[in-house]
Amino acid sequence: MKIFEKLAHIDRRFIYILIAIVVIVPLLLKPKLPIIPTKPVKDIYEYVENLPEGSNVLISIDYDAASMPEQQPFLEALLRQCFRNKIKPVMIVQWQLGAPLGTQGLEKIARECNAVYGVDYINLGYRPGYVAQMVGLGREIRDYFSMDYRNVSVDSFPIMKNIHNYNDFALLVGLEAGSTYLAWVEYAGGRFKQKIALALNAVSAPDAYYFYQSKQIIGLVGGMKGAAEYEVLENKADLAVAGMASQSYSHILIILFIIFGNIAYFVEKNRKKKEGGK
C-alpha cells in the first residue's frame, strides 16, 4: 500500500507538467481525430455553399478575448468559405472588446485569399445602439453605419452600393459569447424574417438548441468542437481541429486523475477500516 501513499502525495507541479504535455503534443503532431460534422453545423455550411455568387453575408462579432479560442477558428473557416465562393462578408460588431479580434481575423483571411477591401468585403466596426440598431438595419443600414471602421463613408465602397437592409443580406451569422443572440433572433429573425446562423460558446450552446429545433435559426455551431467540424467541412484543419485533439486528451487525463485519485481514496479507507482504525 506504500505506493498509493506516495502517489497520493506527489508534487502538484508534476501534474501541471503532465497537463501541459497532454495539450502541447497533439498541437504539434496534429493527430487525425475522426471529427464527424453534426447536422446543425452542416446546415450552415451547405446553406452558405449554395448561396449565389455575389450575395452578401452579415457577420456580427459579439464575443471578446476570453472566448477567442472557441470563436476565432469558426470566423476564419467561414471567411475562407465566403471568399472561395465569391460571397461578400460585411462585418459589424456589437461587443466593442471584440472589434480588434474581428478585424484581425478578417484581415488575415482577406490577405490569404487576396480579397479586396471595399469590393469583396467590408468592416463597419462597432456602433452603440443594440436593439435599436437591429431594428434600424431593417430599414436602412446607413442610419447606423454611415462610416466604416476607419471612419470612411460607406458610399465610397462599391460593395455597399446595393446594401440597404436585411433584404440585401442572404444570411446573418452571429458569433456569440453572451446573450446578444436572443435579440438577433427576436428582432432580425422575428420581425424581418432574416435567415440567421449562430456560433456560441460551448457553455451557452445548449441553451440555443431549441432555436434550431424550432427553425428560427438555420444552424448552430457549439464551441471549439463546432468550429472544428466547420474546419473539417472546409477541409482546412487549423486551430480548432488541432485544439480538439488536445481538448479530448486533456479531458481523458483529468477523468483518469479523478478515477485514480478515488481508487487510492477507497483503498486507503478500506485499509483503515480493516485495521479497526487507530
253 binds another protein (CB under 8 A): yes
237 binds another protein (CB under 8 A): no
Q: Within positions 74 to 93, which residues make up the interface with another protein, using CB under 8 A?
A: none
Q: Which of 142, 174, 178 is closest to 133 using CA atoms? A: 142
Nearest distance, CB of residue 27 and another protein, angstroms: 6
Q: Which of 177, 219, 228, 237 is closest to 49 using CA atoms? A: 219
55 binds another protein (CB under 8 A): no
2 binds another protein (CB under 8 A): no
Of 51-59, 77-85, 111-119, 185-193: span binding another protein (CB under 8 A): 185-193
Residue 104, amino acid: Q
Q: Within positions 9 to 48, which residues make up the interface with another protein, using CB under 8 A?
A: 9, 12-13, 15-16, 18-20, 23-24, 27-28, 33-36
Among 255, 270, 271, 272, binds another protein (CB under 8 A): 255
Of 40-48, 82-90, 202-210, 270-278: span binding another protein (CB under 8 A): 202-210
Among 191, 270, 271, 272, binds another protein (CB under 8 A): 191
Residue 147 to residues 122, 157, 220: CA-CA distances in angstroms?
11, 10, 31
The H or E element spanning position 132 is helix 130-136
246 binds another protein (CB under 8 A): yes
Cβ distance to another protein smaller for residue 19 or 51? 19
Q: Within positions 113 to 152, which residues make up the interface with another protein, using CB under 8 A?
A: 126, 128, 132, 136, 139, 143, 149-151
Strand, coil or helix: 205:
helix
Burial of 252 by CB count in 10 Å (0-12 exposed, 13-18 middle, 19+ buried)? exposed
Of 52-60, 76-84, 109-117, 249-257: span binding another protein (CB under 8 A): 249-257
Q: What is the DSSP string of 36-92?
A: ---HHHHHHHHHHHTSPTT-EEEEEEE--GGGHHHHHHHHHHHHHHHHHTT-EEEEE
182 binds another protein (CB under 8 A): no
Cα distance between residue 234 and residue 121, in whole Å: 19
Cβ distance to another protein smaller for residue 156 or 213? 213
Burial of 42 by CB count in 10 Å (0-12 exposed, 13-18 middle, 19+ buried)? middle
Q: Within positions 93 to 112, which residues make up the interface with another protein, using CB under 8 A?
A: 96-97, 99-100, 103-104
CB atoms < 10 A from the CB of 173, how many?
Answer: 27
Cβ distance to another protein smaller for residue 51 or 138? 138
